[in-house]
Structure formats: structure tokens, C-alpha cells
């Protein structure tokens, strides 16, 4: 049933002002937090493990929690209107569920669950990459507990994936080598970390509900139990390579390029994962996205214009990616997974 601001109790404010987040110091969470704080419209409460070594951005309210003490999570979430989960993929499997259950107990109505990936409606891609069923179960749990969700569908993070080693977009900047999948011409959707942050801040800065049945403006409620779709660039590995060469002032002669079929990479990665070697996961995930006949492309669904997201410069984003190489190399455990 559609809800309108007009029929809410006296004192209802038609805005999302109190936002909680897990991962405020993390890869995507830090960008989302920065963008939210920049609007000046939200308080941001960072739920963080007691004793975490992650640095939290200035301006957040810090709420230390303990995943073995559910009451500590519930207490941190009391009074929050929307809860963003950007949980490390390496965290124990039940961590997401602990957060969702605590949100329900605390009375939080809306949750942005872990996803930050491709189209949630592309079931085949989700199954092939092993991520879909897990993310679906997370969303189902949110609904089962009487809450609603918004999933961020942004494709791969361009800057992060460019920097993240051979298993991702094929680039190894230290060795100046590139593995091209198939002929390197398959285009996929990508979003920069900062574009994802902006998109989330835009959605959370909308009115929560339409004023009444005549109000057709964009509202947060229009995104509930759906994906929010965005992109920065739809591009191939060859397009990325051209940009990398421009930004680094290099030419073909400076790079060692090898070619591998996406199908083979996918099968190799899957075999590694099945044998317990999680290093294969990145390989299968990225190879599958570049399948020529069914790439990970969400361009047709991208809501950039609707949300007023800016166009970005590819070469500037490539530079941001290259600057990330060293940062990610320090995250050995994570990048190996
Ligand atoms: N589209 C893409 O290209 C792409 C790439 C990578 C990831 N992702 C997705 O984005 C989401 C977030 O990933 P991310 O890279 O932003 O996460 P991240 O930076 O690795 O971690 C986020 C936060 O998780 C918490 N955390 C870390 N280890 C934990 C543990 N063992 N137990 C409990 N909490 C732990 C930490 O918060 P505290 O220290 O404050 O507790 C950390 O800041 C995931 O859904 C992931 O699959 C998408």
C-alpha cells in the first residue's frame, strides 16, 4: 500500500536524517559516508567492531559494537531511519544476518544490504558468479523481518578493479602486464567509488514519501525493494588500456600483453574455488562479467539522469585507480580472496 507524508502522524519529517552504516572506514563505505556528510542533511552513525584498526572519517558518530553481543548492535541502531551495510566479503557468513536481525529489533525500517555489484534481476549472472543467491537471501531476510531494502547495482568499481591486480581487469602495474580476455572488446558497466557514494547520497536525500497521491516527484519510497542502478563508464579492456597508456605516458611497447579466453578463466577460477582456493573467485567473477554474449552491462537501466549524477572523465578516474594500486597492495589478505 502506498504511503503518503500527508497521512503520517503529526511531527513526521519527510526526510532521511539519521543514517547508520557498517564499513564507514571501508572501500565503498568511506565514499558513501563522505558523500552523505557532504550533503549536510544526514547524521551518520558508524557501527564499528570494538578494537577495529580501520580509520573512520571525521564527522561520524562512532558506535563500537561486538558481533557476539547482539544487544550492542541493537542499541547502536535504535532511532536510525536507514541502515547501510558495506561489510567486507571476507567477514564470517552470519555477520550480515546478525546486522539485519538487530536492525529489525531496533525498528529500523530500511536497509541497504551488501551488494554493490551487477543487476539483481540478472539471475543467471548472479548464479554463475556465486554472488546472486547469497545477496538474494540477504534481501529476503530483510523482507521477512518486516523491513524494506534498496540494493546498489553499479557493476564493478572502475578505479578499484583497475588497481586490484591481474585477476580483476587484467592489469598488473608493477610488471606492466595486461591479460586481455578474449579479444578485449567486450564492454561492461563500471562505476567509480565516488560515483557510488554520490548515488547513495542522492537517493537518501530525496523525500522519503510522496506528499500525497498527486505528488509524482522522485522519492526514496520509489526505490524500496528495488535496485538503484548507476554507471560511470561502459567500456572494454581495450578502452581501459588506451586510457592507461594516455595517463601513464606509455605505449604498447612498454606493456606485455597476453590473451586468455573468458570461458577458460571462468572454469579455472571455479575449479580453484571448488578446491578451497578463494584466489580463484576474483578470476571467475571478472571473467564471467566479460562473456561476449552476456556481459555485465546495466547501461539500459542506469538512472544517472534521474538522480542527476555527473559525467566523469575516464582518464581522471584511471589516474585515481592507478593511485590506488599501492593502497590495495597493502591489503594482502583481502586482495588474495
Ligand atoms: N563492485 C565491485 O567492484 C566490488 C568490489 C569489492 C567489493 N564489493 C562489494 O562491496 C561490499 C563492501 O565491500 P568493501 O570492499 O567496501 O568492504 P571492506 O572495505 O573490505 O570492509 C568493510 C568493513 O567491513 C568490516 N569488517 C571487515 N572484516 C570484518 C570481519 N571479519 N567481521 C566483521 N566486520 C568486518 C570493517 O568495518 P569495521 O572495521 O569498522 O568493523 C570494514 O571497514 C561487499 O558487498 C562486496 O562484495 C564490490
Instruction: State phi, psi for 257 to the nearest 5 degrees.
Output: -110, 130
DSSP string, 83-107: EEE---TTS-TTHHHHHHHHHHHHT
One digit per residue, the tens of pLDDT, for the chain of length 337 reads 679 999 999 999 999 999 999 999 999 999 999 999 999 999 999 999 999 999 999 999 999 999 999 999 999 999 999 999 999 998 999 999 999 999 999 999 999 999 999 999 999 999 999 999 999 999 999 999 999 999 999 999 999 999 999 999 999 999 999 999 999 999 999 999 999 999 999 999 999 999 999 999 999 999 999 999 999 999 999 999 999 999 999 999 999 999 999 999 999 999 999 999 998 999 999 999 999 999 888 989 999 999 999 999 999 999 999 999 999 988 876 655 5
Query: pLDDT tens digit string along 64-82?
Result: 999 999 999 999 999 999 9
User: How many C-beta atoms lie closer than 10 Å to residue 223's C-beta?
Assistant: 21
| Ligand 1 lined by 95 (C-beta under 6 Å) | yes
Domain holding 163, by residue range, is: 158-189+233-296+313-336
**Does a structural domain hold residue 301?**
no
Task: Verify that 24 and 103 share a domain, yes or no.
Answer: yes
Ligand 1 geometric centre to CA of 19 (Å): 18
Ligand 1 atom at minimal distance to the Cα of residue 157: 3
Kindly report the protein residue whose alpha carbon is nearest to atom 31 of ligand 1. 91
**pLDDT at residue 335, rounded to an integer:** 59
Ligand 1 geometric centre to CA of 25 (Å): 9
**pLDDT at residue 12, rounded to an integer:** 95
Ligand 1 geometric centre to CA of 316 (Å): 25
Q: What is the CATH number of the domain that holds 173?
A: 3.90.25
| Ligand 1 lined by 52 (C-beta under 6 Å) | yes
> Would the pTM count as exceeding 0.95?
yes
Ligand 1 atom at minimal distance to the Cα of residue 29: 16
Task: Verify that 120 and 253 share a domain, yes or no.
Answer: no
Of 229, 255, 285, at which residue does a domain stop? 229
**pLDDT at residue 331, rounded to an integer:** 82
Of 229, 248, 281, at which residue does a domain stop? 229
Tell me whether residue 252 is exposed, middle or buried, using C-beta atoms within 10 angstroms of its C-beta: 0 to 12, 13 to 18, 19 or more: exposed
Three-state SS string over 1-70 comes to CCCCHHHCCCCCCCCCCEEEEECCCCHHHHHHHHHHHHHCCCEEEEEEECCCCCCCCCCCEEEEECCCCH
SS3 label, residue 177: strand
Strand ranges (E), the chain: 18-22, 43-49, 61-65, 82-85, 110-112, 148-153, 156-157, 171-172, 177-181, 188-191, 226-229, 233-235, 256-260
Q: Is the distance from CB of 242 to CB of 252 less than 8 angstroms?
A: no
Ligand 1 atom at minimal distance to the Cα of residue 160: 3
SS3 label, residue 213: coil
Task: Verify that 205 and 140 share a domain, yes or no.
Answer: yes
What percent of the chain clears pLDDT 70, i.e. is strictly above it?
A: 98
Kindly report the protein residue whose alpha carbon is nearest to atom 19 of ligand 1. 26
**pLDDT at residue 291, rounded to an integer:** 97
Distance from C-alpha of 278 to C-alpha of 269, rounded to nearest angstrom = 9
Domains: count for the chain: 2
Task: Verify that 74 and 207 share a domain, yes or no.
Answer: yes
**pLDDT at residue 1, rounded to an integer:** 63
The best mutation among 72, 89, 164, 167 to test binding of ligand 1, ranked by most ligand atoms within 8 Å of the C-beta, falls on: 89
Kindly report the protein residue whose alpha carbon is nearest to atom 15 of ligand 1. 27
Distance from C-alpha of 298 to C-alpha of 115, rounded to nearest angstrom = 15
Amino acid at each position: 500500500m502506498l504511503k503518503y507524508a500527508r497521512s503520517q502522524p503529526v511531527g513526521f519529517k519527510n526526510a532521511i536524517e539519521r543514517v547508520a552504516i557498517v564499513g564507514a572506514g571501508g572501500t565503498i563505505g568511506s565514499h558513501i559516508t563522505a558523500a552523505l556528510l557532504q550533503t549536510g542533511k544526514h547524521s551518520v552513525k558508524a557501527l564499528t567492531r570494538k578494537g577495529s584498526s580501520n580509520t573512520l572519517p571525521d564527522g561520524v558518530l562512532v558506535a563500537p559494537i561486538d558481533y557476539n553481543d547482539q544487544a550492542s548492535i541493537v542499541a547502536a541502531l535504535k532511532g536510525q531511519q536507514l541502515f547501510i551495510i558495506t561489510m567486507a566479503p571476507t567477514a564470517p557468513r552470519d555477520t550480515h544476518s546478525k546486522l539485519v536481525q538487530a536492525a529489525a529489533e531496533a525498528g529500523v525500517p530500511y536497509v541497504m544490504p551488501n551488494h554493490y555489484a551487477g543487476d539483481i534481476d540478472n539471475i543467471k549472472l548472479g548464479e554463475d558468479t556465486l554472488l546472486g543467491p547469497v545477496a538474494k537471501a540477504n534481501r529476503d531476510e530483510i523482507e521477512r523481518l518486516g523491513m524494506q531494502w534498496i540494493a546498489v547495482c553499479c557493476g564493478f568499481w572502475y578505479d578499484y578493479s583497475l588497481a586490484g591486480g591481474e585477476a580483476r581487469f587484467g592489469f598488473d602495474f608493477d610488471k606492466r602486464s595486461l591479460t586481455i580476455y578474449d579479444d578485449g572488446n567486450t564492454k561492461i558497466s563500471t562505476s567509480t567509488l565516488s560515483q557510488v557514494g554520490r548515488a547513495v547520497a542522492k537517493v537518501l536525500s530525496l523525500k522519503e514519501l510522496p506528499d500525497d497521491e498527486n505528488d509524482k516527484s522522485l522519492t526514496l519510497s520509489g526505490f524500496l525493494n528495488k535496485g538503484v542502478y548507476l554507471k560511470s563508464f561502459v567500456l572494454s579492456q581495450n578502452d581501459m588500456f588506451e586510457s592507461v597508456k594516455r595517463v601513464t605516458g606509455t605505449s604498447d611497447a612498454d606493456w606485455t600483453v597476453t590473451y586468455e579466453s573468458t570461458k577458460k578463466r571462468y572454469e579455472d577460477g571455479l575449479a580453484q574455488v571448488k578446491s578451497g582456493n578463494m584466489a580463484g573467485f576474483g578470476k571467475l567473477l571478472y571473467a564471467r562479467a566479460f562473456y561476449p554474449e552476456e556481459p555485465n552491462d546495466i547501461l539500459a537501466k542506469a538512472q544517472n539522469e534521474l538522480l542527476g549524477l555527473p559525467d566523469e572523465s575516464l582518464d581522471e578516474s584511471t589516474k585515481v585507480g592507478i593511485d590506488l594500486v599501492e593502497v590495495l597492495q597493502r591489503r594482502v589478505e583481502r586482495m588474495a580472496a
